[in-house]
Amino acid sequence: MKLFLISDNVDTLVGMRLAGIKGVLVHEKDEVLQALKNAKAQGDVGIILITEKLYLMVKDYLDEQKLKTHIPLIVEIPDRHGTVLKEERITRYIREAIGLKI
């Protein structure tokens, strides 16, 4: 299984390519959706990394996909400028999944 990056930042894309992770650079919502479909169609992609800004652009679609399919795993990552999501994500996932506040 391979990793694939969908990024809106050239520096993030180049850094991941240096680590051996292929990816694409996109900026518009329709480009993001097309890149997701292309990555899923490859068949050997097990994890899709997507920068947080792009994730927020297509959040509803990705949340629906995360509920429907387990492979590929879709993970939002910060770009080189840092995170744009303020809330602790792991705590939020636990609270949403099991309804407990920790």
Task: Supply the CATH number for residue 64's domain.
Answer: 3.40.50.10580
- The confidence band for 32, taking pLDDT boundaries of 50, 70 and 90, is very high
* Number of separate domains in the chain: 1
What dihedral angle (degrees, nearest 10) is formed by the CA atoms of 6, 79, 69, 23? 20
21: its two tokens: 């992770």
User: Rounded CA gap, 10 and 85, in Å?
Assistant: 20
Look at the block and give the residue holding tokens 């992770």: 21
Q: Is the pLDDT of residue 3 over 80?
A: yes
Q: What is the mean pLDDT of residues 56-63?
A: 89
pTM over 0.85: no
- For 43, the domain range is 2-98
The DSSP H or E segment spanning 29 is helix 29-41
Residues present in the chain in total: 102
